[in-house]
Structure 1
Amino acid sequence: MQLVRVGLCAFGMSGKIFHAPFLKEHPGFFISAIVERSKEDSKEKYPEAVIYHSVEEMLQNADIEVVVINTPVQTHYEYAKKALEAGKNIIVEKPFTVNVEEAEELVNLAEQKGLFLSVYQNRRFDRDFLQVQKILNDKKLGEIKEAEIRFDRFRTEPSGKQHKENPEQTGSGSLHDLGSHLVDQAVQYFGYPEKLFADVFSMKGADFANDYFEILLLYKNNMRVRLKSSVFSKEAHYAYVIHGSKGTFLQERTDNQEAELVSGSIPVYGKDWTKPITGSDGILNFLNENNETERIVTSSEPGNYMNYYQQIYEHIVFGYPLPSPGKEVIQNMKIIDAAIESSQQGKIMNLI
């Protein structure tokens, strides 16, 4: 099996939880380098990786083919550009960049260099996202008229992370953090909208970056898609609500990969590795071919973030399609930028 050498730009939560475990367990990847500015926490689990103290040092010295840009979003543009200029393929953590202009420049540079640029949209591999996708593909709901996708939390106290909560830093706040997932999922399900209207602000107050958003996506076929997130949601809502001409589908957010990774679970290559859910996590209520109402409780199949890296590997070795290419994710950045402008100006923004 061809071995692909990878370097991680950081070893915080993203590196420890979402990248290193999958790269280590995938037989086609080898973690050659990890950047840790002042510590050596990675040495215990990844002794084969050389520790560098800066991204620049790693790019200059490490024998790597792929660089994972998993630093705070405010540094994505700088490090991604340096990696591309050093001739490295790159995987950029979401959110891609802080604005569209940075994203477009990086995509153009990657194309000029003949390198790939993929954005780590890992929640395309969540069980709940995949279940909704399956229901939509089955066409039982008829013509989709309205949808809502939510990602709520109950985190009323500040985290202390300046790159996420300082309102003076572009790219901070829930809209870039969680919104990058919800926007991506809406575009994956329904395509690019025609217009949007948004409300984005901080429930914790003006001293903090936005922690609430509601984006209404308007489509040409009169369909409406609402994206919403709040950090003051103690009781869970259905994460996905889909209404069509023939019925409704409700789906809970039940993917447990992040929780299991945080607790120390090791992903397994080649098969599902998370604990199965107990019971059902969805409701499908629709009119069947006989125009009779059917109500079915559904259970989603396991998701697997390993499939992202499998697709990266297949792109490198076999030339298969690249998962979440930067050129595709630019659309998401346009929606996020437009949502900020819509909220500031209090008006509907045209996207097409």
Structure 2
Amino acid sequence: MQEIGVGLIGYGLGGKVFHAAFITRTAGMRLRAVVSRDPAKVHHDHPEVAVVPHVDELLTRPDIDLVVVASPDELHAGHALAALAAGKHVVVDKPFATSLADARRVVEAAERSGKMLTIHHNRRWDADFLTLQDLIASGRLGRIVHFESRFDRWRPEPGATWKEARAGGSWLDLGPHLVDQALVLFGMPTAVTADLAVLRDGAPAPDWFEVILHYEAMRVTLHSSKLAADHRLRFAVHGTTGTWLKHGIDPQEPAIVGGAIPGGAVWGHDPDHGRLTSGQNSDKPEYIANRNGDYGLFWRQLVAAIHGEGANPVPAEDAIQVMTVIQAGLDSAQLRRTVDLVADPV
């Protein structure tokens, strides 16, 4: 199987932790070049990798087959379009783009080019989310009536970074993860109601959101706050026969930040078991052990897909649906009303 040469645009948290750490440990891939203004930072982790100052220089390299876009959000669409025009396969970090229109432009360009386009919605492979999928499929919760998914933080002081000031705030940062997981479980909603707010003193963009996805006989609540001192609640899932509560976050990101190497039998082990309470036996809750999470599955599936031996791990159509909900949330918050995805297509 021919080795896939990879070029990475950007070496911030995303490029370092979620991309390079896994690319360099995925059979069939080789990280060959990184676009960065800080060569020392890249070479500290990957001394054998070339560092180039400009995207154009990366795209002209014949040894690059796949480009991973981990640049600031507003550059995602432009970098993806340039990579596709150069005949490269493309991975785009979330958010796919800063607007639904730009996301559609990238998908159309990929269709014309015949190259693979995929979006890095890595939290499909969180330990607790994999466990939840199994639990729902088992029928032990009955029909889901309310699904609550939260990414809360305790960051009372706004940081002086572009991420804090991004248009759409945390809805564009954390929202894509929560939306993608909800769509994997339940498909597209019929309507979206969103409230975005700035709650921290001096914050330049929304740092709190509460978004409701409307389904027939079910509601999905997506929530995030950066002023939650107790921020351990991750999922609260209520069904007609039981409730599952999960606290704690998937351990893979903090493990890599702390210097761990992805892989091995215990990689992605989440010790915070979810609590299942049966409606018929509410005084005897059951603790459900988590499956191991594995962000490396995205990359292994991508290798197979590029070689025509498997499906795209996150098809562009899925990412367009995520962006449709993200855009509807922005519109809903601005208009202060529910946006109907059937009557008000965005």
Query: TM-score w.r.t. structure 2 length?
Result: 0.94
- The equivalent of 1:165 in structure 2 is 164
1:203 is matched with which residue?
199
Number of the residue aligned with 1:286: 278
Aligned to 1:311: 301
Match of 1:257 in 2: 252
Per-residue displacement from partner, 1:292-338 (whole Å, max 9, x unpaired)? 66631112121011111011011112431101122211111111111
What is the alpha-carbon distance in structure 1 between the residues aligned to residue 14 and residue 196 of structure 2?
A: 26
The corresponding residue for 1:274 is: 267
Paired with 1:331 and 1:189, the residues of 2 have a C-alpha distance of 13
Partner of 1:326: 316
Cα contact 2:91–2:118 (8 A) shared by 1:
yes
Q: Which moved more, 1:255-264 or 1:21-30?
A: 21-30
Partner residue in 2 for 1:185: 181
1:345 CA displacement: 1.2
Gaps of 5+ in 1: none
Q: Match for 1:181: what amino acid?
A: H
Q: Secondary structure at the match of 2:330?
A: helix
Q: Is the 8 A contact 1:260 1:274 kept in 2?
A: no
* Residue pairs, 1:70-219, within 5 angstroms: 70-162=70-162, 164-166=163-165, 169-170=166-167, 172-205=168-201, 208-219=204-215
Q: Distance in 2 between matches of 1:137 and 1:238?
A: 22
Cα–Cα, structure 1 residues 188 and 253, in superposed 2: closer, same or farther, change >3 Å? farther
Answer whether contact 2:128 2:270 (CA < 8 A) is retained: no
Q: From 287, 298, 302, give the equivalent of 1:297.
A: 287
Relative to structure 1, the CA distance from residue 272 to residue 107 in structure 2 (aligned partners, 3 Å threshold; closer, same or farther) is farther
Q: For residues 99-135 of structure 1, what are the alpha-carbon distances to aligned partners after superposition, in whole Å with 9 as ceiling and x for unaligned?
A: 1000001001101110111110111111011111111
TM-aligned CA deviation for residue 48 of structure 1: 2.8
Separation of aligned partners in 2, 1:203 and 1:260: 30
SS at match of 1:152: coil
- From 236, 240, 253, the equivalent of 1:241 is 236
Cα distance in 1 for partners of 2:74, 2:138 equals 40
Aligned partners of 2:273 and 2:288 also within 8 Å: yes
1:205 CA drift (Å): 4.9
- Alignment correspondent of 2:53: 53
Deviations 1:231-253 (A, max 9, x none): 01001342111111111111123
Task: Indicate conservation of the 8 Å contact 1:23/1:309, yes or no.
Answer: yes
Residues 88 and 275 of structure 1: CA distance in aligned 2, closer, same or farther (over 3 Å): closer
- What is the Cα deviation at residue 45 of structure 1? 3.1
- Unpaired segments ≥5 residues, structure 2: none
Q: Give the 3-state SS of the residue equivalent to 1:197 in structure 2.
A: strand
Q: Does structure 1 residue 337 correspond to structure 2 residue 333?
A: no
Q: Distance in 2 between matches of 1:275 and 1:303?
A: 4
Which amino acid letter does the alignment assign opposite residue 164 of structure 2? E
Secondary structure, in 3 states, of the residue corresponding to 2:39?
coil
Question: Partners of 2:197 and 2:281 in 1: how far apart?
Answer: 44
Aligned residue pairs, count: 341
Cα distance between partner residues in 2 of 1:239 and 1:303: 15
Aligned-partner SS, 1:239: strand
By how many angstroms is 1:277 displaced?
Answer: 4.3
Are 1:227 and 2:205 an aligned pair?
no
State percent identity of aligned pairs.
Answer: 35
Computed over aligned residues only, the root mean square deviation of the Cα atoms, in angstroms, reads 1.7
Change over 3 Å in CA distance of 1:272–1:329 after alignment to 2: farther
**Counterpart residue identity of residue 111, structure 1:** E
Shift of 1:273: 4.5
> Would the aligned equivalents of 2:269 and 2:293 in 1 still touch at CA under 8 Å?
no
* Structure 2 CA distance for aligned equivalents of residues 253 and 126 of structure 1: 11
Does the 8 Å CA contact 2:199/2:207 hold for their aligned counterparts?
A: yes
What letter is aligned with 1:175? W
Residue 37 of structure 1 and its aligned partner are, at CA, apart by 2.4
Asked if the contact 1:196–1:348 (Cα under 8 Å) also holds between the matched residues in 2, the reply is yes
Instruction: Name which of structure 1's ranges 319-328 and 98-107 shifts more when overlaid on structure 2.
Output: 319-328
Moved more, 6-15 or 39-48: 39-48
